[in-house]
C-alpha cells in the first residue's frame, strides 16, 4: 500500500490505528482492536477523531520514536510522515476541509538516512568476497592468528585466547554483558566488525540446507591477501590453538606430529567422513533452537549479580548443554540462565577446542558464534526494555564505556566497563546487525514455558573435563541404561545438556561459583502425553574427551549431574 504524504485526512490516519496496512489482513484487525483497548484506559480512543485531536502532537512523538504502539511493530516511515503532515495541515477531518498550515509545524524527527557511522555486523554468508578477505587479513596480519610467537613475543591472538580463558564470566548475570565487551575489545583491535554465524537460522537444522554446518569461510584452506595479492593460509581455519597445542593433542605423547592449529570435529569439517554423525549433529540444532526460543519468552533477564566471580564454573561444551548448568539460585526461570545452555551446546557440537573453555577463544569461529549470541541478546533487550540490570557491576578487565582497552589489576573500579554500559542497545555502542541470509527459527508454539514439566539439575559447578548429558523419559520402572540401547533418535529423547569444562591450567579458578546453580531442561508436551503416569529419567553421561560413558553410581556423586523431574506452575 502506498500512503500519500500530500493531503492526508482523518480517514487515512484512522486506518493506521484501526487496520494498519503493514500487517496481514487478519493480524491488522486484531492489532487495531488491541491497540485501541490498551489506550482507552489512558483516556484516548484512537478510533475517535475528537479523542485523538488533543493528543495529536504527543501521539506523533511516540510513534516517531517507536515507543508507540508498545510491543508491536513500529510505524513505517511513510505512515509516520503521513501522520505528521496531517497534523501540520490542520488535522483535517475530510478532503473538503481547508488546509490550515500550523505556525509551528511538527518537525520530522525520523532519521533522514541510515546511521552511516555505525559498523555493521553482517551474516558471514552475506559478505562479499572482498569483505570476507579483508576480515581474514585483519585476523591474519593484526592478530597473527597463524602464529604462537612473533619475534619471540606472544601474538595478540594468543593473548585474546588467554584473556577469555582467564577472565570470562559464566552462569551469572554478567555472562552476556562480559562477552559483549569482549567482542567490542577485539573489534577495537582489528578496526572492523566481526561477522556472525547464524546457527539460529531455521534451516540450519536441515542437513540438506546450505545453512547447515560450519560456514564455508571457516573451512577454506586459502585466501588471497587483499594488499599483497599473495595466496595465504585461511586464518579462520588455520589459527593456532593454545600455545600451539590443540586440545585434541594434549594427551598425545609425540606432539611433534600434531598440528598447531585448532581442531573441530571431523564430521563437521568434512561431512563425507561420517555422514550419519553429521546429520545427527545437525538435526540436534532444532533442539537448541527451541532452547533459545524458550529463553526469549522469559520476562526476567537474570538473577541479580552478586560478587564478581570470573571464570564462573564454566566447564567444557558438550552439546546439548544441561539445563542445570545455567545459573539460578532458586527455581526461577530467566533469559540468561536458559540462553546459556544452547550457547554451551553450540560450543560442544563444534569440538575439540571449542568444547573446552580454556581453548575455545583460540578458534576464530568462537567470535562469530558469540556475535550471534550477542545478536539474540540484542533482540531480547529490544523486546524487554524494562529489564533490570546490576548496572554498576564491573566487567574486568575491560576499560571504558565501549570496552576499547584493558585495565588489568587497576584498583580504580570506576575505570572498568560495567553491565550498565553493555546493557545499552547496540546502536548506542556503535554497531548494528545486518539481516540474516536465512530466516531465524520461529516457534509454532506461542504458549509460555510456565506450567511445564522440567528436568532440574541442582548444584551445577565447574568441572575440568567436558561432558554431555543425554536425557530420556520413560514410564517403565524396569527400563535402565544398562538393559536398553538408548539413542537420541528415540521418541523418549528429552534433550542434551553440555557441561563445558574449564580445562586444566586456567588461572583465577576461584571465579567459579561455590554453591552451584540450577539448570533446567524442558520436556516436550507431546512426549509427556505419549507416556503413562509413572515417569522416570534415564541419563547417558559421556566424557567428551575420552568418549567414556560414566556409570550412574559415579556421576550421581558429582554435584549438578543428577537430574530430577520438576513441575513448574
pLDDT in tens, the chain (569 residues): 455 568 999 999 999 999 999 888 888 888 899 999 999 999 999 999 999 999 999 999 999 888 888 666 788 889 999 999 999 999 999 999 999 999 999 998 876 555 556 799 999 999 999 999 999 999 999 999 999 999 999 999 999 999 999 999 988 899 999 999 999 999 999 999 999 999 999 999 999 999 999 999 999 999 999 999 999 999 999 999 999 999 888 765 545 557 899 999 999 999 999 999 999 999 999 999 999 999 999 999 998 765 444 444 444 555 555 555 554 444 568 999 899 999 999 999 999 999 999 999 999 999 999 999 999 999 999 999 889 999 999 999 999 999 999 998 899 999 999 999 999 999 999 999 999 999 999 987 655 544 578 888 888 877 878 899 999 999 877 777 665 678 888 888 998 888 887 776 556 555 566 677 788 888 888 888 888 878 888 999 999 888 899 999 999 999 889 999 887 76
- Residue 1 belongs to a domain: no
Are 465 and 519 in a shared domain? yes
Are 426 and 460 in a shared domain? no
Give the number of domains in the chain. Answer: 3
**How many residues would you count in the chain?**
569
Are 466 and 551 in a shared domain? yes
Going by the DSSP 8-state scheme, the letter that residue 141 receives in this structure is I
| 392's grid cell | 554498576
- Residue 493 belongs to a domain: yes
Q: Are strands 493-499 and 517-522 parallel, antiparallel or unpaired?
A: unpaired
From first CA to last CA, the distance across the chain in angstroms is: 45
Are 479 and 517 in a shared domain? yes
Are 127 and 249 in a shared domain? yes
Are 259 and 338 in a shared domain? yes
Are 360 and 269 in a shared domain? yes
- The answer to whether 360 touches 353, Cβ cutoff 8 Å, is yes
Are 418 and 333 in a shared domain? yes
| 408's grid cell | 588489568
CA 124 to chain centre: 16
Entry pTM: 0.75
**Residue range(s) defining the domain that contains residue 60:** 10-88
Are 484 and 417 in a shared domain? no
Which pLDDT does position 266 carry in this prediction?
96
- Residue 98 belongs to a domain: no
Cβ neighbour number for residue 56 with a 10 Å cutoff? 15
CATH of the domain at 185: 1.10.1280.10
Going by the DSSP 8-state scheme, the letter that residue 510 receives in this structure is G
The C-alpha angle 402, 406, 411, rounded to 5 degrees, equals 110
Residue 559: C-alpha distances to residues 307, 312, 463, 499 (Å): 22, 15, 10, 12
- Residue 103 belongs to a domain: no
- Residue 112 belongs to a domain: no
| 369's grid cell | 558464534
Residue at which a domain ends, from 404, 433, 462: 433
Which pLDDT does position 311 carry in this prediction?
41
Alpha helices in 351-391 (DSSP H): 365-383
Residue at which a domain ends, from 384, 399, 433: 433
Asked if the peptide bond before residue 378 counts as cis, ω within 30 degrees of 0, the response is no
Cβ neighbour number for residue 251 with a 10 Å cutoff? 9
Q: Report helix, strand or coil for 42.
A: helix
Residue 133: C-alpha distances to residues 107, 192, 367, 387 (Å): 43, 12, 16, 39
- Residue 109 belongs to a domain: no
Which pLDDT does position 135 carry in this prediction?
98
Residue at which a domain ends, from 403, 433, 463: 433
Are 359 and 460 in a shared domain? no
Are 253 and 184 in a shared domain? yes
Query: CB burial class (10 A; 0-12, 13-18, 19+) of residue 409?
Result: exposed
Amino acid at each position: 500500500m502506498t500512503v500519500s504524504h500530500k493531503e492526508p485526512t482523518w480517514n487515512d490516519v484512522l486506518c493506521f490505528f484501526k487496520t494498519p496496512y503493514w500487517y496481514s489482513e487478519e493480524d491488522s484487525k486484531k492489532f487495531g482492536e488491541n491497540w485501541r483497548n490498551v489506550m482507552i484506559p489512558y483516556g484516548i480512543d484512537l478510533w475517535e477523531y475528537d479523542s485523538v485531536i488533543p493528543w495529536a502532537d504527543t501521539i506523533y512523538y511516540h510513534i516517531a520514536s517507536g515507543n508507540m504502539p508498545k510491543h508491536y511493530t513500529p510505524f513505517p516511515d511513510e505512515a509516520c510522515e503521513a501522520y505528521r503532515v496531517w497534523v501540520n495541515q490542520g488535522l483535517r477531518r475530510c478532503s473538503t476541509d481547508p488546509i490550515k498550515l500550523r505556525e509551528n509545524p511538527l518537525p520530522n524527527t525520523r532519521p533522514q538516512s541510515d546511521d552511516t557511522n555505525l559498523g555493521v555486523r553482517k551474516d558471514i554468508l552475506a559478505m562479499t568476497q572482498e569483505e570476507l578477505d579483508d576480515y581474514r587479513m585483519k585476523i591474519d596480519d593484526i592478530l597473527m592468528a597463524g602464529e604462537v610467537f612473533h619475534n619471540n613475543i606472544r601474538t595478540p591472538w594468543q593473548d585474546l585466547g588467554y584473556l577469555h580463558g582467564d577472565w570470562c564470566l559464566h552462569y551469572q548475570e554478567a555472562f552476556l554483558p562480559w562477552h559483549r565487551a569482549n567482542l567490542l575489545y577485539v573489534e577495537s583491535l582489528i578496526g572492523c566488525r566481526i561477522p556472525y554465524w547464524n546457527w539460529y537460522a531455521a534451516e540450519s537444522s536441515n542437513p540438506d540446507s546450505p545453512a547447515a554446518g560450519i560456514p564455508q569461510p571457516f573451512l577454506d584452506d586459502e585466501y588471497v591477501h587483499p594488499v599483497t595479492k599473495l595466496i595465504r593460509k585461511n586464518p579462520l581455519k588455520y589459527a593456532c590453538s593454545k600455545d600451539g597445542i590443540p586440545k585434541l593433542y594434549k594427551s598425545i605423547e609425540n606432539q611433534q606430529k600434531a598440528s598447531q592449529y585448532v581442531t573441530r570435529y571431523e564430521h563437521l569439517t568434512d561431512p563425507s567422513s561420517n555422514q550419519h554423525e553429521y546429520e545427527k549433529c545437525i538435526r540436534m540444532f532444532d533442539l537448541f533452537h527451541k532452547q533459545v526460543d524458550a529463553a526469549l519468552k522469559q520476562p526476567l533477564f537474570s538473577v541479580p549479580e552478586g560478587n564478581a566471580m570470573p571464570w564462573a564454573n564454566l566447564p567444557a561444551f558438550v552439546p546439548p548443554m544441561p539445563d542445570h548448568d545455567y545459573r539460578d539460585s532458586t527455581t526461577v526461570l530467566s533469559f540468561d540462565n536458559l540462553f546459556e545452555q544452547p550457547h554451551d551446546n553450540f560450543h560442544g557440537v563444534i569440538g575439540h577446542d571449542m568444547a573446552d573453555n580454556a581453548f575455545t577463544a583460540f578458534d576464530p569461529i568462537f567470535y562469530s558464534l558469540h556475535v550471534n549470541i550477542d545478536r539474540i541478546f540484542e533482540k531480547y533487550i529490544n523486546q524487554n526494555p524494562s529489564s533490570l540490570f546490576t548496572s554498576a557491576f564491573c566487567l574486568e578487565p575491560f576499560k571504558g564505556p565501549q570496552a576499547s582497552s584493558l585495565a588489568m589489576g587497576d584498583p580504580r573500579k570506576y575505570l572498568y566497563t560495567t553491565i550498565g554500559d553493555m546493557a545499552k542497545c547496540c546502536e548506542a555502542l556503535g554497531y548494528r546487525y545486518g539481516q540474516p541470509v536465512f530466516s531465524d527459527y520461529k516457534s509454532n508454539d506461542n504458549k509460555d514455558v510456565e506450567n511445564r514439566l522440567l528436568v532440574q539439575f541442582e548444584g551445577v559447578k565447574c568441572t575440568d573435563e567436558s561432558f554431555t548429558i543425554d536425557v530420556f523419559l520413560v514410564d517403565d520402572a524396569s527400563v535402565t541404561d544398562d538393559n536398553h540401547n538408548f539413542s537420541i533418535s528415540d521418541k523418549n529423547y528429552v534433550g542434551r545438556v553440555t557441561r563445558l569444562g574449564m580445562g586444566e591450567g586456567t588461572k583465577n579458578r576461584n571465579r567459579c561459583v561455590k554453591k552451584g546453580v540450577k539448570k533446567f531442561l524442558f520436556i516436550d508436551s507431546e512426549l509427556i502425553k505419549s507416556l503413562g503416569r509413572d515417569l522416570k529419567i534415564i541419563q547417558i553421561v559421556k566424557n567428551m574427551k575420552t568418549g567414556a560413558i560414566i556409570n550412574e553410581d559415579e556421576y550421581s556423586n558429582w554435584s549438578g549431574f543428577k537430574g530430577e523431574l520438576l513441575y513448574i506452575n
